[in-house]
Amino acid sequence: MATDVVVPTLGESITEATLGQWLKQPGEAVKADEPIASLETDKVAVDVPSPVDGVIGELVAAEGDTVNVGAVIARIEAGKAAATSATPAVEDRTAVGKAEAAAAPERAAAPVEEAVVAGEAQTLSPSVRRAVLEYGVDPSKIRGTGKDGRLTKDDVLLAAKSGQAEAKVAPAPAPVPAAPAAAPARKEERVKMTRLRKTVATRLKEAQNTAAMLTTFNDVDMTAVIEARTKYKDLFEKKHGVRLGFMGFFVKAAVLAARDVPAVNAKIEGEDIVYHDYVDVSVAVSAPNGLVVPVIRDAQDKSVAEIEKTIGDFGKRAREGTLKMEEMKGGTITISNGGVFGSLLSTPIINPPQSAVLGLHRIEERPVVVKGQIVARPMMYLALSYDHRLIDGREAVTFLVALKNAIEDPTRLLIDL
């Protein structure tokens, strides 16, 4: 008797998703609650678990299909017979692959559909396959950090950068004297946009079309924060179990500045302005499929340690793909730290319906004048993009100056100045 696998409830107002990847194939054994497919929604990737023990039967939907909540995407057959045949099937595919590689070395650069790791077949996502081909690494030599040990794009990039992975592409055979060959054909690859990327594109364009966006800049001397972090980072990590970073300081400073300038933490709703007596800070976090923006709820009530723990947990679960939909809803102001990627200066785009986004950038030593003397100081550019319909230039500058003062004199964070 077959059991239907249906698309689970994905969250409020979400009725459909894109089938991003099958994690199991027909004939493979599966246990109850084991992920068999990955769905891409507007915000996150969601694993579809098996409802029962059994063997994968028919796959009703294909990768890339749009599926509705409640729709049948696969069927699981009862029994365990196929479970014992899964390993030989992997060995057969491996043997065939080796034979083909020996007979036709030029095929070594063909798209990688599977990587055999520790005797098991591992299906690679399209982005991981592209990275494997681009950097010429062997996925079987890379340890995956994703859910259930799956490879992520970051794993491939790290392996390529460290040089720890062996080259996947076989060396070309010695050239045979022949007539001059024609110039190699230039190749293109057409990849369908993921649902997440389409949603990001739509929302960013909506922000540009709707809001009267303007960006104001300032810079901040990071000397005091760096000294405080250097002095207390070991004690901080020992007591709280998390590293002391810069984001905790900036979130607390943004909360203080938002109290002075409430419009930065507000939004336009129809013909009304909605002010919040709380500060929910959206923080941009890097994930294998792109940036996601989970929300630190009630940041005004959290300590620096609680903020650092929350951000650390968001980053870990973003890499694993286990962030929940409700964790990325809401938010009253966004902080985007492009400095971790080396950005010197940028003009971030606001995240509707929010009215402001704070952009942080890399820290670099620059000459500045202090008490009449030119000295080298660790400086960072700050950028505040805001909706000019709601926030005036004076308010934007006031917000940045208040934030700058708090970072350059962290004591202000303790005495609420």
Which of 25, 23, 33, 20 minimizes the C-alpha distance to 55? 25
The answer on 143 and 65 residing in a single domain is no
Assign 137 a pLDDT band (cuts: 50, 70, 90). confident
Amino acid at 104: A
The answer on 383 and 280 residing in a single domain is yes
Nearby residues of 181 by Cβ (< 8 Å), 6 or more positions away: none
Res 369 pLDDT > 90: yes
Predicted local confidence at residue 169, as pLDDT: 46
Secondary structure (DSSP) of 351-375: -TT-SEEEEE---EEEEEEETTEEE
Is 388 annotated as catalytic? yes
Residue 96 within a domain: no
Which of 123, 159, 397 minimizes the C-alpha distance to 261? 397
Residue 202 within a domain: no
The answer on 221 and 366 residing in a single domain is yes
Token pair, residue 196, equals 């997440």
Q: Work out the percent of the chain whose per-residue pLDDT is above 70.
A: 81
Average pLDDT, the chain: 81
Assign 171 a pLDDT band (cuts: 50, 70, 90). low
Catalytic residue among 33, 92, 301, 388: 388
Nearby residues of 108 by Cβ (< 8 Å), 6 or more positions away: 101, 168, 169, 170
The answer on 300 and 157 residing in a single domain is no
The answer on 147 and 284 residing in a single domain is no
Res 408 pLDDT > 80: yes
The answer on 330 and 221 residing in a single domain is yes
Assess contact for 151 and 128: CB atoms under 8 A. yes
What is the Cα gyration radius of the chain? 26
Residue 13 within a domain: yes
> HSE of 2 in the Cβ direction (CA atoms, 13 Å)?
14
Res 178 pLDDT > 90: no
The answer on 161 and 17 residing in a single domain is no
Assess contact for 308 and 242: CB atoms under 8 A. yes
Name the residue range of residue 74's domain: 2-81
Question: Out of 6-20, 37-51, 166-180, 182-196, which region has the weakest mean confidence (pLDDT)?
Answer: 166-180
Q: 280 — alpha (psi -120 to 50), left (phi > 0) or beta?
A: beta
Q: Work out the percent of the chain whose per-residue pLDDT is above 90.
A: 38
Residue 197 within a domain: no
Residue 35 within a domain: yes
CATH of the domain at 396: 3.30.559.10
Res 92 pLDDT > 60: no
Residue at which a domain ends, from 166, 196, 230: 166
Catalytic residue among 65, 392, 409, 416: 392
Residue 87 within a domain: no
CATH of the domain at 55: 2.40.50.100
Residue at which a domain ends, from 81, 99, 121: 81
Is 392 annotated as catalytic? yes
Assign 94 a pLDDT band (cuts: 50, 70, 90). very low
The answer on 375 and 296 residing in a single domain is yes
pLDDT: is 172 or 108 the higher one? 172
Predicted local confidence at residue 274, as pLDDT: 95
Assign 328 a pLDDT band (cuts: 50, 70, 90). confident
The secondary element (H helix, E strand) that includes residue 46 is strand 45-49
Q: Is the pTM for the entire model greater than 0.75? A: no
Predicted local confidence at residue 402, as pLDDT: 95
The verdict on whether omega for the bond into residue 410 sits within 30 degrees of 0, i.e. cis, is no
Which of 26-40, 113-127, 136-150 shows the highest mean pLDDT? 26-40
Residue 173 within a domain: no
Domains identified in the chain, total number: 3
Assign 173 a pLDDT band (cuts: 50, 70, 90). low
